[in-house]
Structure 1
Amino acid sequence: MTPEKRLDQIEPVIADTAQKVDRLVETTGRIAVEVSKIPAQERSIALTAKGLADLTQITARRFDNVDQRFDGIDQRLDAMDQRFDGIDQRFEGVNQQLDQLQQDTGDLKQGQSSLEQGQQQIIQQLSQLQQVIIQMMGNRPS
């Protein structure tokens, strides 16, 4: 084999090897760049995680505050309901008293009507008695 023939055989192998080495260097460079980004990403992830944890705690506290406020409102509404129940009971008592008053008023009116009838009868009887007395006095010898 001549040196030129050997060179012809070696050149494609060397070119292929050089191309592969070039690809390896390029890939290694990309890997190095990506690896160098990892600490920044880890820091970013850590900051994000801390931010989410803080946000969760703040949100939980705010919801606790809102729950406490709603508990206070519920207690106030319960107290108002009790007051309204008391007022309702008072109205029921007043309504019962009004019913009794109406019944008593009806009884009084009926009693008054009976008294008026009795009074009219007494007036009629007195009028009749007066006429009898007048007649008796008119028939009396003088």
Structure 2
Amino acid sequence: MPAKIYTLDDLKKMTIDHRRNLYENARNNPSGSYIKELIDSNGLALSTGGVSMDDPLYLNIVEIAWSKEGKEAATMAADAGIPAVAAIDRMVQAKYGDAYKSRHNAAVAAGTIVGEVMKHLGYRIAMRKACPPDCVAKSGATWKKL
């Protein structure tokens, strides 16, 4: 029986856990490299944070953090020695304002999600540092490229 060929729609419909497992399997199998490429190039999430996964704000934080723009902002912050979560925090604030600012657990989830994104991009934690004063997140990890 030939292996299933996954489409972008198939990957979007999967749970994050299922997609992450498929991604991990694809990393170790040359015939699955297209799956890894589809997930990476379309910014599909591979992790969740510590708040309810069905919370619309939480789901949007995941989308922002894993988006091309989110990954670029997070890596730029990391390369400048600023906690990567600060970049995502600002993007979420710009889109959701008080709905994000009033939900402390959302900032905690953002930090967890950004950590998974940064590890996925080949960074390791360097140290913890205070976030800039305009951030909801109070502190976050700084990252160094491996």
Give TM-score, length-normalised by structure 2: 0.15
Q: Which of the pair has the greater relative contact order for Cα pairs under 8 Å at 6+ separation? A: 2
Q: Which has the higher strand share?
A: 2
What is the TM-score with the length of structure 1 in the denominator? 0.16
Larger Rg: 1
